[in-house]
């Protein structure tokens, strides 16, 4: 890969799809598609760029996890499984490659103002208030919040941080 694009210093595994269906209605093919998109693609990209990062003794791999990887959310079993797999990948990969100067971390976004959030809330003010009531900061995050956290984790300021999942969720994951 490096012959085509040069050395890569930061890989952000952010591609994904969402499937909102009950576990009983989710087909094995749908489940597999979600896993392929989130898990197998992330593994394949990491595998492709790791040899150069290890050889240069420098690099950052960042996964985009989710609140769904931290606690149970109904109707998103495939998505939760995929995002939970990211957590295992972060921890395992960090133990393998951090000694070679490659750090591996994840951000776990909470409710972020986006088309996906708008679609999920679908004009449901009760659900919106329920979410905000369980979020200590009492607001939704922005894409910039995620970008700043990602920038920090891939910067020299985080030079001694590897194998962590950073919730960026206004405190929603700390409990009720």
Domain-embedded: residue 75: yes
Burial state string for 60-83 with b = 16 or more CB within 10 A and e = fewer than 16: bbbbbbbbbbbeeeeebbbbbbbb
Domain-embedded: residue 157: yes
**pLDDT, tens digit, 9 for 90 and up, residues 82-105:** 999 999 999 999 999 999 999 999
Domain-embedded: residue 118: yes
Residue 176's pLDDT is 60
Domain-embedded: residue 175: no
Domain that holds residue 72: 8-169
Domain-embedded: residue 120: yes
Give me the CATH number covering residue 15: 3.40.50.720
Domain-embedded: residue 176: no
3-state secondary structure of 166: strand
Report how far apart the first and last C-alpha atoms of the chain are (Å, whole number): 46
Residue 115's pLDDT is 85
Domain-embedded: residue 25: yes
Q: How many domains does the chain have?
A: 1
Least confident range of 4-13, 39-48, 89-98:
4-13
Tell me what the mean pLDDT of segment 162-176 comes to: 92
Between strands 59-64 and 10-13, the pairing is parallel
**pLDDT, tens digit, 9 for 90 and up, residues 45-88:** 999 999 999 999 999 999 999 999 998 888 999 999 999 999 99
Residue 116's pLDDT is 79
Residue 1's pLDDT is 60
pLDDT band at 18 (very low <50, low <70, confident <90, very high): confident
Task: Provide the percentage of residues in the chain whose pLDDT is more than 70.
Answer: 98
Active site residues: 79
Task: Provide the percentage of residues in the chain whose pLDDT is more than 90.
Answer: 80
Domain-embedded: residue 2: no
């Amino acid at each position: 890969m490096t012959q085509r694009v040069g050395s890569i210093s930061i890989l952000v595994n952010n591609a994904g799809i969402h499937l909102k269906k009950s576990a009983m209605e989710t087909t094995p093919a749908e489940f597999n598609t979600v896993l392929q998109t989130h898990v197998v693609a992330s593994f394949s990209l990491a595998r492709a760029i790791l040899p150069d990062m290890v050889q240069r003794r420098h690099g950052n791999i960042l996964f985009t996890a989710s609140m769904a990887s931290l606690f149970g959310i109904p109707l998103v079993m495939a998505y939760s499984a995929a995002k939970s797999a990211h957590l295992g990948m972060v921890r395992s990969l960090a133990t393998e490659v951090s000694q070679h100067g490659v750090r591996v971390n994840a951000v776990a976004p909470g409710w972020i103002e986006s088309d996906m959030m708008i679609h999920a809330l679908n004009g449901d003010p009760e659900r919106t208030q329920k979410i905000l009531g369980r979020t200590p900061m009492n607001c939704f995050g922005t894409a910039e919040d995620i970008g700043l956290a990602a920038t920090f984790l891939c910067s020299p300021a985080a030079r001694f941080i590897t194998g962590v999942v950073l919730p960026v969720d206004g405190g929603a994951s700390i409990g009720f």
